[in-house]
Chains A and B, each alone.
Chain A
């Protein structure tokens, strides 16, 4: 379970273009549930998601995971925490160019003390489950936006994390891919994962076990 309390992020604090992107946000995401953050573009969803996933240091507030305050971790321990517990799916997909699909999926394994070759088969299985079995060896540039996002989902899951944070995962995705991804998230929920998704699209919101609305950097409900 994730508990984010009073999270605030101020960019350029004390400088000329100071921006308070998120103010006193409180979010609880339970295990075996899909928690959805909805709001218009620019309301601070990505900033909040990044703070919860420790990709961004909050100005104020803390994040508890299984009652442990991960905000107070050092940079090194945050990396360890992310490595072991969190899988990210980004709005802009963020695959590495010049690599193929399966190579991108296996990148998170490189910072673990494992032989990536042992995870080749699981990686292929993941891609198959996401409908990309035949395109596992296609380079990123040869995949459509939807296919790339499915590769990104596989990448987020290769290390079997307990927490999945997906920031607007369906933005650049076609309908077929969106359906596949949504079905996959449902499956992951049933497996007991903690899933936190931000979106402005209604079809994911329908899946939610808990929904938070956000506007102008604040959680409304």
Chain B
């Protein structure tokens, strides 16, 4: 049995070499499909995983104000009310918003430096300068991409028009490094009070409230968070975002974006299946004749199908390996140009950082499956059809 299988394997390898043009066309198309699929998957998985990791340290609940179905500021007094809910450890205020420099979007975040969740200043990944200090107002730490865009460095003064159309000046005291770009590239960080003035937020309001729940056993964590969320939801005109909601939104966003890109590899894969099917059934006189001849020489139907199965599996593995290697190279070495911008969408500001990628065993296996399976169907089914016909008819039909 072992020898027989090896013989069929050798014959299948021989077939791959003999039908050279067909092999190359199928391999190239499958490899492209596999590269597209794997590169998109690795990047999407990496972004989602980065999001998951960051959510570990995110507030357990984010509370925002809603008015007429749109987000609006939330009253600061709600922080005191929420603090009284059993299970709540601490509530912090946050003021942030979007800004733009021409067409370039950026995020302006006001940090509560008194917040216990904020680490010591030395912990932050700065390329130059220092972190914010609660003693000093009108100071900012900016992201690398912002610094590069406006040509700013530590020691410069930024004069920015605020929400209320006033020109205010901020000292650049720090610039985040490139490694932290995924978090900081398009960010201008200032203290909360400066942000309040910048966005002209009323004194009794903030952008959102960050709720940290008490430490409990992981078994009870969800129940505690859900309870607190429910209690907070009783307050008027607010919405409560749990970590789950944020993660799901992130997964949906990247899923949708990767889905758009996936259309390309769907098309390529279908093309491969059509080519392979065409070659085997409609145009494949040689293939039909060969099947008839093999049957005449003593090969059974199952032998013929085994040969085609082995052929398809080998081509699938070769194409899958090339595609995976290509996808990994594209994501990790080339840093996923084009795809990165498509997935992350930074409008105009393109940060320079290494995109997070997650090369999982699951994606690797799935890539091999998507390369091998369509090919299997496209070649094995027609071969089975040819193999169940009388050998004489197969050979004569092919010659005709």
| Bound-complex Cα distance A6 to B388 (A) | 25
Contacts of A94 in B (CB 8 A): 289, 293, 296, 395
Whether A56 contacts B392 in the complex (CB less than 8 A), given A109-B7, A112-B4, A113-B3, comes out as yes
Q: Are A110 and B11 in contact (CB under 8 A)?
A: yes
Evaluate contact between A111 and B4: CB separation under 8 angstroms. Answer: yes
Q: How far is the CB of B289 from chain A (nearest CB, A)?
A: 8
Does residue A108 face the partner (Cβ distance < 8 Å to B)? yes
For the complex, what is the distance from the CA of A110 to the CA of B290, rounded to whole Å?
14
Partner of B388, one of A53, A75, A109: A75
Binds B, one of A76-84, A123-131, A177-185: A76-84
* Additional pairs, 8, CB under 8 Å, beyond known A79-B303, A82-B298: A47-B392, A50-B392, A76-B302, A90-B395, A94-B289, A98-B18, A99-B14, A159-B298
B contact residues around A112 at 8 Å (CB): 3-4, 7, 298
Within the complex, what minimum Cβ distance (angstroms) separates A44 from chain B? Answer: 13
B interface residues, how many (CB within 8 angstroms)? 30
Is B296 within 8 A of A55, CB to CB?
A: yes
A70 within 8 A of B: no
Max chain A C-beta neighbours (<10 A), residue from B2, B8, B18, B392: B392
Judge whether A116 is part of the interface by a CB distance below 8 angstroms: yes
* Min CB gap A83→B, angstroms: 3
| CB of B95, distance to nearest CB on chain A (Å) | 74
Q: Does B391 contact A (CB under 8 A)?
A: yes
The residue in chain A whose Cβ has the minimal distance to the Cβ of B7 is A110
Asked if B300 contacts A79 (CB within 8 A), the reply is: yes
How far, in angstroms, from A114 to B393 measured CA to CA in the complex? 29
Q: How far is the CA of A98 from the CA of B290 in the complex (A)?
A: 12
State the CA gap A123–B289 with chains docked (Å). 24
B3, B290, B388, B393, most chain A CB atoms within 10 A: B3
- Assess the A115–B3 pair: CB atoms within 8 A: yes
Chain B residue contacts of A79, Cβ below 8 A = 295, 298-301, 303
Q: In the assembly, what is the distance between CA of A75 and CA of B301, in Å? A: 8
A92-B399 contact given A57-B390, A112-B4, CB 8 Å threshold? yes
B1 interface residue per 8 A CB criterion: yes
Is B226 an interface position by the 8 A CB rule?
Answer: no
Count how many chain A residues have C-beta atoms less than 8 Å from C-beta atoms of the other chain. Answer: 35
Report, nearest first, the 8 A-B pairs whose CB atoms are least far apart.
A83-B298, A79-B300, A110-B7, A55-B392, A50-B392, A56-B392, A113-B4, A55-B391
B interface secondary structure, majority: helix
**Which residue of A57, A76, A98 is within 8 Å of B300 (Cβ)?**
A76
Residues in A whose Cβ lies below 8 Å from that of B395:
90, 94
Question: What are the residues of chain B within 8 A of A47 when measuring CB–CB?
Answer: 392
Contacting residues, chain A, for B391 (C-beta < 8 A): 55-56
Instruction: Tell me if B297 and A111 are in contact (CB < 8 A).
Output: yes
A-B contact pairs, 9 of them (CB 8 A): A50-B390, A76-B300, A76-B301, A82-B298, A96-B293, A97-B18, A98-B18, A108-B297, A111-B299
Flag if A116 contacts B7 (CB, 8 Å): yes
Complexed CA–CA distance, A79 and B297 (Å): 8
Considering the chains assembled together, what is the distance between the CA atoms of A57 and B390 in angstroms? 7
Interface centre among B18, B294, B297, B388 (most CB of A within 10 A): B297
Residues of A within 8 A of B233 (CB): none
Contact A56 B301 (CB under 8 A): no
Beta-carbon nearest neighbor of B303 in chain A: A111
Measured between alpha carbons, how far is A68 from B18 in the docked complex, in Å? Answer: 39
Complex formed: what's the CA distance from A75 to B391 in Å? Answer: 11
Return chain B residues, CB-CB under 8 Å to A114.
3, 7
Q: Mark B3-21, 1 if CB is under 8 A from A, else 0.
A: 1100110110010001000
> Cβ of B8: which chain A residues have Cβ within 8 Å of it?
110-111
Let me know if B301 and A88 touch, CB within 8 A: no
Tell me which residues across on chain A come within 8 A of B300, comparing CB atoms.
75-76, 79-80, 111
Closest to B394 in A: A55
Closest residue of A by beta carbon distance from B295:
A79
**CA–CA, A149 to B2, complex, Å?**
32
Assembly CA distance A113 to B1 (angstroms): 6
B292 to chain A minimum Cβ distance, whole angstroms, is 8
Residues in A whose Cβ lies below 8 Å from that of B302? 76
Residues of B within 8 A of A65 (CB): none
Q: How far is the CA of A53 from the CA of B293 in the complex (A)?
A: 13
Distance of A90 Cα from B394 Cα, bound (Å)? 14
Interface: A107 (CB within 8 A): yes
Min CB–CB distance A92 → chain B (angstroms):
7
- A111-B298 in contact (CB<8A): yes
Within 8 A of A (CB), among B190-234: none
User: In the complex, what distance in Å separates the CA atom of A97 from the CA atom of B2?
Assistant: 27
Q: Which of B2, B7, B399 contacts A111 (CB 8 A)?
A: B7
Bound complex: CA A107 to CA B294 (Å): 8
A residues in contact with B297, CB < 8 Å? 82-83, 88, 107-108, 111, 155
Q: How far is the CA of A200 from the CA of B298 in the complex (A)?
A: 27
Give bound CA distance, A75 to B395, whole Å.
17
CA distance A88 to B395 in the complex (A): 13
Chain B residues near A83 (CB-CB < 8 A): 297-299
